[in-house]
Amino acid sequence: MAEIVELADGVAEVVRDGDEVAMEGFTHLIPFAAGHEVIRQHRRDLTLVRMTPDLIYDQVIGAGCAARLVFSWGGNPGVGSLHRFRDAVQHGWPRPLEIEEHSHAGMANRYAAGASGLPFAVLRGYRGTDLPAQTDTIKPITCPFTGEELTAVPALNPDVAIVHAQRADRAGNVQMWGITGIQKEAVLSASRSLVTVEEVVDELTPLPGAVVLPTWVVTAVAVARGGAAPSYAQGYYDRDNSAYQEWDAISRERDSFSAWLDGVRKVVA
Amino acid sequence: MAEIVELADGVAEVVRDGDEVAMEGFTHLIPFAAGHEVIRQHRRDLTLVRMTPDLIYDQVIGAGCAARLVFSWGGNPGVGSLHRFRDAVQHGWPRPLEIEEHSHAGMANRYAAGASGLPFAVLRGYRGTDLPAQTDTIKPITCPFTGEELTAVPALNPDVAIVHAQRADRAGNVQMWGITGIQKEAVLSASRSLVTVEEVVDELTPLPGAVVLPTWVVTAVAVARGGAAPSYAQGYYDRDNSAYQEWDAISRERDSFSAWLDGVRKVVA
Amino acid sequence: MSAGTQWTADEMMSVAASRSLVDGTACFVGIGLPSQAANLARRTHAPGLVLIYESGTLGAKPDRLPLSIGDGILAETADSVITVPEVFNYWLQAGRIRTGFLSGAQLDRRGNINTTVIGEYGDPKVRLPGSGGAPEIAASCQEVTIVMRQSRRSFVDRLDFITSLGFGSGPGDRERFGLRGGGPLHVITDLGVLEPDPQDRELTLTAVHPGVEPEQAVEATGWPLRVAAEPARTPPPTATELDVLRRLTTS
Amino acid sequence: MSAGTQWTADEMMSVAASRSLVDGTACFVGIGLPSQAANLARRTHAPGLVLIYESGTLGAKPDRLPLSIGDGILAETADSVITVPEVFNYWLQAGRIRTGFLSGAQLDRRGNINTTVIGEYGDPKVRLPGSGGAPEIAASCQEVTIVMRQSRRSFVDRLDFITSLGFGSGPGDRERFGLRGGGPLHVITDLGVLEPDPQDRELTLTAVHPGVEPEQAVEATGWPLRVAAEPARTPPPTATELDVLRRLTTS
């Protein structure tokens, strides 16, 4: 059963140095507040897993928390590049970042295999591209019935998954709706999980399109109002598109980024 | 885009002699009206696919429409045996029935592979049981990353899927809710599909737990009020549990079944 | 009801099965006696028991006994209703479910079960329903509770068909086949309780129900049944257990 | 806006892309120009166009241009919102989607695309975002529309990295790799339209936009661009197309 905790305690409980950590949320419900808390707690040597690294990982990478990144698309959506990610990959600043690169379909199926207790997933993908030569977690597999060659990718089973949801009940059952992306698979594939929520309510009224994560598959729930900003939480607040634009300027230079980082580290969660 | 048609026309359009036909619905929303129409149209040599053959296939098998059955559990749920299924398997009446037998997990993954455009699915299953010796669509497969041995099953891609849903809109978009089982996968895995519905409405108001099949993946929609009875349609009518009990008596002997069959064939859809 | 008791052997079997369920854990429930036992447990000692039906209802809280695994009452009261592929892949196969219930037409001394056929597969004497969800419940639940009425016809020396694996032909077989669940924890019958020997995994009579002598269980078994040195005596059903069970089954 | 025209080259590109979409078909939409083109099409000649965004929104009907592929307006107006694994497996991979839009940092003469890296993979000059959904869109959509501004820097003789396959090194490669979609149908640029040669699959300039001469397109291409015998002239944007497009992009 999930424990309902303070955000700082939740992050301290589930995220340890050297962990493989998946923070998910597909444009919607990105767990920024938890990401900032990981930065504040100065976690080190993390392997970050995420389909779209996005601003949240640009920040965690720039803060020097990560040794490795497993991903499929590293950009600032609708704006351009992730400058901290680029600086780490191109110049090793603030530390070298090893990468394991996949496609979206590959990552989605890797999480699904992890959630299913399977060691690998099969898909039509990667063939003819240059990615298999760079990523050793992409291998051919032959259909035992048709002889057709397809692609296998290993399951993702991160140590920790962190996601943001609209709400939880007092027992720790979590409810999210709108675009729910890969969050269920991320939580079910991980050994531990932290879900930040906009609010804790007495009862989770069923809603169209809602996904429920039962309390018994979640490690900890923490209230983080606005915890997905500058992304959005459907029914609570909109995406702050200007913040994505502004991040381009903040992150472009190491100095301006470092000033931003100092600001985050001063906040008490 | 789905055409909205009369039930008899829809069945005539999508089901042809010799077809592989999947009628799905997991206890809930079983397409009985469409099954009876298949019987009335005297289809022959069908390969019937269904996780739980249930009364609906006991009837179609007893009527002599089927040459083959692909399934994972053939019983009258909560009551006992399927006597027509047994009579066909044990005594070849009214004609011999070839069987291809799987487990629920295997069948569910076969449909999912079919819906995904993959030739096979991988699961933890069957190993150590006597089923692989009887069913040649069960084969071992080795994980290319861990070396672990798992089981592969081929995709299901029936010629036709038939399901029942609560409602459709005038454009042929289909909405179902409650226990939705394997119906989406069945429709997406098939070349053609017929969806019977309780009613056609102007607008599909979103509902908690509702699954929508867009009109452009459905071949035909037909109104069949009460078309899931004696199973149930959540929000419309309850399961007629006594009918399941009564079927035990009707189906037990060939004579009483044949009298029932005459009755079905006299009805004009 | 047998003379001298206030309950039937089936009621005792349901009560014993119910008691084996642990509060706060998840349980994969089939229709019939397993559903009786699980719903009885949720109303007595295990209010936090999570009921999962293979129709895709997670955390169902039915206020009456469902009549099928896809009863509407399950969807209406569930924490979440998911698809059939999801229940088998994300929940059962992933090993998230503590207890699975199984039954069958035949059981052997190593807890293997037949629900497929009596006689030859290709020329059956009796064609049974088949696998359903049972093989994967047997493979992937953390532990399995088998509930079956005991008789020489059903507790057999050799199965006609292995549908669901218990301990195969003995220790090491589950590991060899890559089965990650623990296998049968016990067999609860109308006469008593059998548990696998920690060494060789052979089922051993470890308890008898009130009014039953170990010899009756031996007599009702088609192999030479091992009996524990001092078989326990199942505590009789309490008035509450019987009352709740009867209200469940007659409602 | 170039002299003598009432629209920009990018507007012409969006309009041309929009016109290529067929009413009543499904289209996999990325953010930026593809989303502009698809939403323009839905408001002009293709009201029944089904928009699918990789965030899992099937049949989105946004009343303004979404600012990201996961914009709330998409979920609120969709026929159905599904999970990310489902959109890739049941919808894209299964070949249900007619048109996929792609763009990239580099394109070669066989319609292969690089969105991964400029320079060496292990020692990049410029690290680009990477694959995202593009390789599987390229593999599985029934046809692909590539939309890219034309320049010698981006239309190159040799890609630094093949992220998404067009026709590989020529005819037969898609089949050899088991790709079931038809590959690039055309490349729509700010200067004109390139289409693969039916024989050897090399991109050939088949149309130029109003005010553009074929030589300009040749000049803006890093390989010796083939030009059709008589390249067509793209009809200029209509007043309606421009009006709808501008209302979309300024709202």
CA distance D29 to D34: 6
On whether any CB of chain A is under 8 Å from the CB of B210, the answer is yes
The boundaries of the domain holding residue D228 are 9-250
On whether any CB of chain C is under 8 Å from the CB of B86, the answer is yes
Place C1 in a pLDDT band, splitting at 50, 70 and 90: very low
CATH code, domain with C107: 3.40.1080.10
What confidence score (pLDDT) does residue C221 get? Answer: 98
Q: For residue D151, is it within any domain?
A: yes
What pTM does this model have?
Answer: 0.97
Mean pLDDT of B23-48: 97
Q: For residue A268, is it within any domain?
A: no
Spatial CB neighbours of D251, under 8 Å, sequence gap ≥ 6: D64, D65
What confidence score (pLDDT) does residue A78 get? Answer: 83
CA distance B42 to B31: 17
Q: How far is B95 from chain C (nearest CA, A)?
A: 15
What confidence score (pLDDT) does residue A65 get? Answer: 98
Q: For residue D196, is it within any domain?
A: yes
Chain A residues whose beta carbon lies within 8 Å of the beta carbon of residue C83: none
Give one DSSP letter per residue of chain B, joined into a string.
Answer: -PEEE-HHHHHHHH--TT-EEEE--SSBS--HHHHHHHHHTT--SEEEEESS-HHHHHHHHHTT-EEEEEES--EETTTEE-HHHHHHHHH--SS--EEEE--HHHHHHHHHHHHTT-SEEEES--TTSSSTTT-TT-EEEE-TTT--EEEEEEPP--SEEEEEEEEEETT--EEE-S--TTHHHHHHHSSEEEEEEEEEES-----BT-EEE-GGG-SEEEE-TTTTTTSBBTTTB---HHHHHHHHHHHHSHHHHHHHHHHHHHS--
Which tens digit of pLDDT belongs to each residue from A17-54?
A: 999 999 999 999 999 999 999 999 999 999 999 999 99
Handedness of CA D234, D239, D242, D244 (dihedral sign): negative
Whether residue B233 sits in one domain with residue B120: no
Checking if the pLDDT of D2 tops 60, the result is no
- Cβ separation B102–C131 shorter than 8 A: yes
Q: For residue B268, is it within any domain?
A: no
Amino acid making up residue D91: W
Closest chain C residue to B182 measured between Cα atoms? C84
Tell me the pLDDT of chain D averaged across its residues: 94
- Cβ separation D90–B116 shorter than 8 A: yes
Whether residue A23 sits in one domain with residue A138: no
Tell me the pLDDT of chain C averaged across its residues: 94
Which tens digit of pLDDT belongs to each residue from A130-166?
A: 999 999 999 999 999 999 999 999 999 999 999 999 9
What confidence score (pLDDT) does residue D5 get? Answer: 64
Active-site residue (options: C11, C54, C202, C241) = C54
Place C125 in a pLDDT band, splitting at 50, 70 and 90: very high
Neighbouring C-beta atoms of residue B235, cutoff 10 Å: 12
- Cβ separation B140–A144 shorter than 8 A: yes
Q: For residue B269, is it within any domain?
A: no
Checking if the pLDDT of D1 tops 70, the result is no
Whether residue B75 sits in one domain with residue B205: yes
Which tens digit of pLDDT belongs to each residue from A180-195?
A: 999 999 999 999 999 9
User: What percentage of residues in chain D have a pLDDT greater than 70?
Assistant: 98
Whether residue A56 sits in one domain with residue A20: yes
Q: For residue D1, is it within any domain?
A: no
Q: For residue A37, is it within any domain?
A: yes
Chain A residues whose beta carbon lies within 8 Å of the beta carbon of residue B204: none
Q: How far is B12 from chain C (nearest CA, A)?
A: 29
Whether residue A166 sits in one domain with residue A143: no
Whether residue A215 sits in one domain with residue A134: no
Which tens digit of pLDDT belongs to each residue from B98-149?
A: 999 999 999 999 999 999 999 999 999 999 999 999 999 999 999 999 999 9
Q: For residue B266, is it within any domain?
A: no
Closest chain D residue to A112 measured between Cα atoms? D85
- Cβ separation A150–D178 shorter than 8 A: yes
What confidence score (pLDDT) does residue A38 get? Answer: 98
Q: For residue C3, is it within any domain?
A: no
Whether residue A180 sits in one domain with residue A228: yes
- Helical segments of C20-98, H only: 33-43, 72-77, 84-86
**Total domain count for chain C?**
1
Neighbouring C-beta atoms of residue A1, cutoff 10 Å: 14
Q: For residue D2, is it within any domain?
A: no
What confidence score (pLDDT) does residue B168 get? Answer: 98
Token pair 């914009």 in the structure block, residue: D71
Whether residue A180 sits in one domain with residue A245: yes
Q: For residue A35, is it within any domain?
A: yes
Q: For residue D72, is it within any domain?
A: yes
Which tens digit of pLDDT belongs to each residue from C2-46?
A: 445 699 999 999 999 999 999 999 999 877 788 899 999 999 999
Q: For residue D4, is it within any domain?
A: no
Whether residue B98 sits in one domain with residue B38: yes
CA distance D28 to D41: 13
Q: Which of A50-54, B237-241, C61-65 shows the lowest per-residue confidence on average (mean pLDDT)?
A: C61-65
Which tens digit of pLDDT belongs to each residue from C135-175?
A: 999 999 999 999 999 999 999 999 999 999 999 999 999 99
**Total domain count for chain A?**
2
- C61 backbone dihedrals φ, ψ, rounded to 5°: -130, 60
Checking if the pLDDT of B42 tops 80, the result is yes
The boundaries of the domain holding residue B173 are 3-102+157-261
**Chain D: touching chains (3 or more CB pairs < 8 Å):** A, B
Place B41 in a pLDDT band, splitting at 50, 70 and 90: very high
Q: For residue A269, is it within any domain?
A: no
- Cβ separation C79–A117 shorter than 8 A: no
Phi-psi group of B260: left, alpha or beta (phi > 0 → left; psi -120 to 50 → alpha; rest → beta): alpha
Whether residue B251 sits in one domain with residue B122: no
What confidence score (pLDDT) does residue D72 get? Answer: 84
Whether residue A201 sits in one domain with residue A96: yes
Of residues D186, D181, D242, D184, the one with CA closest to residue D210: D242
Helix (H) and strand (E) counts in chain C: 8, 14
Catalytic residue flag (residue C54): yes
* CB C54 within 8 Å of CB C87: yes
Place B43 in a pLDDT band, splitting at 50, 70 and 90: very high
What confidence score (pLDDT) does residue B20 get? Answer: 98
Of residues B99, B82, B9, B10, the one with CA closest to residue B48: B99
Instruction: Choose the final residue of a domain: B154, B185, B215.
Output: B154
Chain A residues whose beta carbon lies within 8 Å of the beta carbon of residue D132: 52, 72-73, 103-104
Q: For residue C20, is it within any domain?
A: yes
On whether any CB of chain C is under 8 Å from the CB of A212, the answer is yes
Question: How many CB pairs (< 8 A) connect B and C?
Answer: 167
Which tens digit of pLDDT belongs to each residue from D135-190?
A: 999 999 999 999 999 999 999 999 999 999 999 999 999 999 999 999 999 999 99
On whether any CB of chain B is under 8 Å from the CB of A118, the answer is yes
Spatial CB neighbours of C218, under 8 Å, sequence gap ≥ 6: C205, C224, C225, C227
- Cβ separation D56–A232 shorter than 8 A: no
SS (H, E, C) A53-117: CHHHHHHHHHCCCEEEEEECCCEECCCEECHHHHHHHHHCCCCCCEEEECCHHHHHHHHHHHHCC
Whether residue B164 sits in one domain with residue B93: yes
Chain C residues whose beta carbon lies within 8 Å of the beta carbon of residue A211: 80
- The residue among C184 and D71 whose pLDDT is bigger is C184
* CB D17 within 8 Å of CB D101: yes
